[in-house]
Structure 1
Amino acid sequence: MSVAVRGAERSLADGEADLVAAARRGDEAAIRELIRRLNPRLFRVARGIVASDAEAEEVVQDTYLAAFTRLDRFEGRARFSTWVTRIAINTARMHLRRARPAEDYDTVTEDRNRRIVAFPGGPPETADCALGRAQVRALLETAIAGLPPELRLPFLLHEVEGMKLREIARALSVNPVTLRTRMFRARRQLRAALAEQVSGGFEAVFPFGGARCARMADRVIAALRAGRRR
């Protein structure tokens, strides 16, 4: 597991119980912090199932509304992040069943500028470096998006989110042996699709932060407020 993935896991776990307790009391700051922490994972989970970024954002928002309006159902037997991840998987699958094939989404028109990575504290990135990084990420995302859904989601959960195989197997209701086979097939297909120089860059794919993260929190909070007023 990479340093970046281990850091993401620790970030999700630190103080999670306190934030959930505050969210139960309707503390909007706690809800926003939970959304900020969970956005990258849930977006990748959704994007591992649905076909476009726009659909994934819709799934993530629906997931938060389902989770935060039913916090009384969270019994604490698993981590909150694991509980919400399962909701995201179910929500994305329901979205997929509802989607009509005639309504194809044009992912070519999506804004690709957000995919350029800037590392805090590092030297200013040249235009050539930024372009190269964006091209590598686009190559990675295209390769991963090209995997069949039954391979794409386990790969994202394990390689990007750092979830253990047994945890993924439980979340997807899949036999662990079947899951290992799918992981092997996913890696084999990606190796065939990716050039050697992009190896190891999976932590950067399907990002969800910055202004997009803040807008998601704003939309969820507004929907929760509207629900309380009814």
Structure 2
Amino acid sequence: MTVRAKRDYSILGDGELAALCAGRDPEAVRHVLTTNNQRLFRAAWSILKDRAEAEEALQAAYVSAFSSIGSFEGRSSLTTWLTRIVINEALGRVRKERRRRAQLDAAGVPVLDAYREKLMAGSETLAPDAAVAREQLRRVLERAIAGLPEIFRTVFVLREIEGLSVEDTSDALGIPASTVKTRLLRARRRLQEALAPEVHEALTGTFPFAGADCAALTARVMGRLGL
């Protein structure tokens, strides 16, 4: 009996990956999900500022993306294409919530603030003292970033935390590269008032979305896609 070699999806180009996903190759879909989950979750959070809402937006965006992934033309990277879909989904939810609140306010019904800070704790096991210190630092960072105006916050998350280039950020948000640079500069200036320079290295550890969180989301999306 011949044993078929397992395919290495990490070496495939975006166009080939998209084509396999369009053909509902389960492992190709799983690869795209696990590769992009954290970045896309952070993008959704940067707009919604709520973990549960960000996860819901991400799931909905994935379902929408995979239903039309056959139309992916490779004009940008697959990750940038997905980021744009997630951002549009999150912004759509913000607009919908604003309309809902406006309707309720007009009717004289008190509405609670829809943006709640449910900040995530790290999933890795640390010594008690180190875990407490790391959690405190993470909360300081996340609160400071959450306090940025939305137009600055999303650019900051994509550029500084996710490491997207100016061009990819511009493409994902649909704004000029010069605007990306200006908003990032202003975001940095605002954060300098709350954060010491040495905390910068800890930024990549904020908003963790890996391990069990990543696996659970991947399983839910795969289930919704019937894979």
Fold shared, TM-score > 0.5 on shorter chain: yes
Query: Quick one: which amino acid aligns to residue 223 of structure 2?
Result: A
Q: Give 1:171 shift.
A: 2.2
CA contact (8 A) 1:19 1:30 kept: yes
**Residue 5 of structure 2: aligned partner:** none
Secondary structure of the residue aligned to 2:226 is helix
CA deviation map 1:38-84 (0-9, x unaligned): 01110110011113111110111011101111112211222111110
RMSD: 2.2
**Residue 122 of structure 2: aligned partner:** 115
> Cα gap change, 1:199/1:80 in structure 2, threshold over 3 Å: closer, same or farther?
closer
Between 1:42-51 and 1:15-24, the stretch displaced more is 15-24
Q: Give 1:127 shift.
A: 0.7
**Residue 98 of structure 1: aligned partner:** 96
**Residue 76 of structure 1: aligned partner:** 74
**Residue 26 of structure 2: aligned partner:** 28
Distance 1:46 1:111 in 2: 14
Distance 1:31 1:214 in 2: 13
Distance 1:55 1:73 in 2: 27
- Size of the alignment, in residue pairs? 207
Gaps of 5+ in 1: 1-11, 119-124
Query: Quick one: which amino acid aligns to residue 15 of structure 1?
Result: L
Distance 1:148 1:87 in 2: 21
CA deviation map 1:163-185 (0-9, x unaligned): 11122123222233222221111
Q: Does 1:15 align with 2:12?
A: yes
Distance 2:182 2:10 in 1: 29
Distance 2:90 2:177 in 1: 22
How many percent of aligned residue pairs carry the same amino acid?
A: 38
**Residue 55 of structure 1: aligned partner:** 53
Between 1:178-187 and 1:135-144, the stretch displaced more is 178-187
Query: Quick one: which amino acid aligns to residue 115 of structure 1?
Result: G
CA deviation map 1:97-155 (0-9, x unaligned): 111443545745x474x32545xxxxxx3210111011111111111111000000000
Aligned match for 2:86, one of 88, 96, 99: 88
**Residue 139 of structure 1: aligned partner:** 140
Gaps of 5+ in 2: 1-8, 102-110
CA contact (8 A) 1:16 1:80 kept: no
> Cα gap change, 1:111/1:44 in structure 2, threshold over 3 Å: closer, same or farther?
closer
TM-score in terms of structure 2 length: 0.82
Query: Quick one: which amino acid aligns to residue 198 of structure 1?
Result: V
Q: Answer with 1 or 2: which has the greater Rg.
A: 2
**Residue 191 of structure 2: aligned partner:** 190
> Cα gap change, 1:117/1:143 in structure 2, threshold over 3 Å: closer, same or farther?
farther
CA contact (8 A) 1:151 1:183 kept: yes
